[in-house]
Amino acid sequence: MSYHPITSWLGVVAFLAVLGVAGAAFVYAIRLRFAQFTQAKRPDVRWDEIPKRINNVLVYVLGQKRLPRNGYLYSGILHIFIFGAFVVLSIDTINFVTDGLLRTLDVVTGDPPGGPFHLPFSGLDSYYQAVADTFRFLCIVGLGMAFVNRTIIKPKRLPLTRDALYTLFFILGLMVFEVTQQGFGLARAANGGELPPGTGHIWFSSIFASIVKGAGPDALEVGYQASWWLHLITLMAFSNYVPYSKHSHVFAAPFNIFFMSLEPKGALRKMEFDLENEEVEYFGARNLEDLSWKQIFDGLACTECGRCTDNCPAAMSDKPLRPMHIIVDLKHHAEDRLKALKKGGEAPNLAEDAKAILTSGVIDPDVLWSCTTCRACMEVCPVGNEHIPDIIDMRRYLTMGLGEVGHGGQNALKKMDSRGNPWGMSKRKRDAWTEGEDVPRWDAEKPAEYLYWVGCAGAYDDRAQKVTKSVTRLMKKAGVDFAILGNDESCTGDSARRLGDEFLFQNMAQGNIETLNEAGVKKIVTHCPHCFNTLKNEYPQFGGNYEVIHHSELLSKLMQEGKLKPGQNGNGSERIVYHDSCYLGRYNDIYDPQRDIIDALPGVERVETRRSKQIGLCCGAGGGQMWMELNIGTRMNFVRTDELLETKPNVIAVACNFCMTMVDDGVKARGKEEEVQVLDLAELLDRSIAD
């Protein structure tokens, strides 16, 4: 190929200059980014379970599992087109750069130039070239879809920015110059006649070749060389633009997915307390140093697609929380601090307390207290960012370091500490609900098969007690061997941990685990998803290992075994919509048993809300919100209740005491309490079981 751009020393110098400058700039950019996220000092080693981590990369990066799901089909498809082109054409890029290096070597050594370089199975006559050419076309289609999405469809989560436009045009330039380079090469080989045999499968570039093949050899040579140089310059420029833009996720996302947490989704990080160490000034995240490298690296991987914010109940109800901003603000803070250090000054907030970090233009405390820890943000994030651990770590400092628990949450913590429950009720009255009920007590000498963990709401709240009684009646009817701890039960500490009081949580957890282990408990059934999640996923951190089952799972199993047989409930036909609990659904992937119970009830039509299962909307009570009064924006439970009422139900079914309280309040606020009942699944089944 005598018309190759590198046939002389001038071409060699130009090629090496472009490659050298771009390579040095890229190395500098990567070192800069590395210095930014390594400002975080908390150890976080994630080299365990390598096969599972590799599988995550295959599923979430190469398989793009999360991209087109949960209502994002259009943007998912366009991203798959563009990402697919990057993956497929990476082989072509290797061929392109390597060929330039070999041509350079030929000129330097004086050897005659050989044929164009191609990796095995990627030559012009290979099927790979057909796939590559197809993806060039699909990439251009995807770029067009992205441009329409940004400029015409304009979803609120995707503002039109220069960064986005620059990236679109960079990628478009790469595709165009690849096509024209390929097309000019094919046209010159055709020499005005038919295209070379064996290249018909390069269909997209061949269209361009067919258009220009009538030009003279000199014009085709100039066209090829111009395309080649523009291809190289665009490739090098884009490679150096990416690390400084939000599109750093091109490089960072695969690593972020690889290093995603493999701990149970419902488990927060266990803090180690060294109370004897006088050098420990505080607990939680006060500065960047208190975070882990992964928490800052999330910012480099963030695509700023806004899906997390799009699905956040706090954002929907006009609270100040925008999950994407948590990630991005920490990244920008790391950038600003590193710049200050490089200038020789003291980094901003280096010696300041958390108030400075959280209120001085970085993150406001109300942003943190708005979170319900519902996990919707993490469920939809395509690059594996972990928003909730960031929020909890900063809450931990506000709570344990400053004693500033937002919006009244401190009262619940005090009651949990002194009375073992957030209601502040007497410990001796935890089993008062059993009066008139034949409920067996746990006997360590003759342990039952299941311990029924009633929970604080089930024991103290008048409305939740009705659910507790339904569960006990159903288990007795089915012949389940169960018992309760009665007054020996105490709060699991779920709300304490999520309000940031890790010390209180650990004390409560260790006390409960000691009680359970001494009693010889092996299996636990509970109807509170928060108790369920804590007992199942967090107590193992402290030596509490039990088989934990939610009451919906147990009741569904008993129905399948024929031990519970629902009959007509006397209401004729009912339209029932089920509200998914975040801590049962997104945290523990339990979606079907609840629906199986409803479907088994005679005369019932089950309907779904537009947000259900993985994208179900939070009721607003999680993350300690049950005990706070955050009077900002709209109440979250009203937003969710309105969605549930859109289905025109007779009954809103729930499987969580918190959800019951929040949705019931929402129904009453909308004046629908005479038309719509809010019932737990156990109550629905209990009233339909024939005596």
Does position 346 have pLDDT exceeding 60, yes or no?
no
- Is there a contact between 455 and 525 (Cβ–Cβ < 8 Å)? no
pLDDT of residue 138: 97
What angle in degrees, to the nearest 10, is found between the helix axes of 657-669 and 636-645? Answer: 80
pLDDT of residue 690: 58
pLDDT of residue 379: 95
DSSP annotation of 193 reads S
pLDDT of residue 304: 92
State mean pLDDT over 361-378: 93
pLDDT in tens, 232-281: 999 999 999 999 988 899 999 999 999 999 999 999 999 998 877 777 78
Q: Look-up: residue for tokens 């010390």? A: 503
Strands 574-578 and 604-607: parallel
Of the candidate ranges 151-165, 309-323, 390-404, the one whose mean pLDDT is the lowest: 151-165
pLDDT of residue 470: 96
pLDDT of residue 351: 43
Q: Give the separation between CA 443 and CA 440, rounded to whole angstroms.
A: 9
Distant-in-sequence, close-in-space partners of 122: CB < 8 Å, separation ≥ 6:
91, 92, 95, 128, 129, 132
Of the candidate ranges 480-489, 571-580, 581-590, the one whose mean pLDDT is the lowest: 571-580
Per the prediction, the chain carries an average pLDDT of: 92
State mean pLDDT over 548-564: 97
Does position 141 have pLDDT exceeding 60, yes or no?
yes
Does position 678 have pLDDT exceeding 50, yes or no?
yes
State mean pLDDT over 548-569: 93
Q: Look-up: residue for tokens 């089952």? A: 549
User: Which string of b and e fits 124-138 if b means at least 16 CB within 10 Å?
Assistant: bebebbebbbbbbbb
pLDDT of residue 572: 57
Residue type, 539: Y
Q: Give the separation between CA 382 and CA 268, rounded to whole angstroms.
A: 21
Higher pLDDT, 645 or 603: 645
**Confidence grade of residue 487 (pLDDT, cut at 50, 70, 90):** very high
Does position 191 have pLDDT exceeding 60, yes or no?
yes
Does position 321 have pLDDT exceeding 90, yes or no?
yes
State mean pLDDT over 489-516: 97
pLDDT of residue 35: 93
Share of the chain above pLDDT 90, in %: 79
Does position 562 have pLDDT exceeding 60, yes or no?
yes
pLDDT in tens, 505-540: 999 999 999 999 999 999 999 999 999 999 999 999
Q: Look-up: residue for tokens 């199975």? A: 121
Residue type, 32: L
Does position 1 have pLDDT exceeding 60, yes or no?
no
pLDDT of residue 478: 96
pLDDT in tens, 101-112: 999 998 998 888
pLDDT of residue 196: 67
pLDDT in tens, 42-85: 999 999 999 999 999 999 999 999 999 888 999 999 999 999 99
pLDDT of residue 331: 92
State mean pLDDT over 23-34: 95
State mean pLDDT over 551-560: 97
Q: Give the separation between CA 315 and CA 323, rounded to whole angstroms.
A: 8
State mean pLDDT over 142-151: 95
- Is there a contact between 385 and 270 (Cβ–Cβ < 8 Å)? no
Does position 349 have pLDDT exceeding 70, yes or no?
no
Residue type, 218: D
Does position 213 have pLDDT exceeding 60, yes or no?
yes
pLDDT of residue 80: 95
State mean pLDDT over 361-370: 90
**Confidence grade of residue 344 (pLDDT, cut at 50, 70, 90):** low
Q: Torsion angle, CA of 197/201/203/204, rounded to 10 degrees?
A: -120
Distant-in-sequence, close-in-space partners of 296: CB < 8 Å, separation ≥ 6:
36, 37, 39, 40, 288, 330, 331, 334
**Confidence grade of residue 355 (pLDDT, cut at 50, 70, 90):** very low
Does position 418 have pLDDT exceeding 90, yes or no?
yes
**Confidence grade of residue 215 (pLDDT, cut at 50, 70, 90):** confident
Q: Compute the radius of gyration of the chain from its Cα atoms.
A: 31
Q: Residue 423, Cβ neighbours under 10 Å: how many?
A: 16
pLDDT of residue 110: 86
DSSP string covering 176-191, please?
A: HHHHHHHHHHHHHHHT
Q: Give the separation between CA 633 and CA 291, rounded to whole angstroms.
A: 30
**Confidence grade of residue 287 (pLDDT, cut at 50, 70, 90):** confident
Strands 574-578 and 651-654: parallel
Residue type, 283: F
pLDDT of residue 345: 58
pLDDT of residue 4: 82
Does position 350 have pLDDT exceeding 50, yes or no?
no
Of the candidate ranges 34-38, 214-218, 584-588, the one whose mean pLDDT is the lowest: 214-218
User: Which string of b and e fits 466-491 if b means at least 16 CB within 10 Å?
Assistant: bbbbbbbbbbebbebebbbbbbbbbb
**Confidence grade of residue 224 (pLDDT, cut at 50, 70, 90):** very high
pLDDT of residue 354: 41
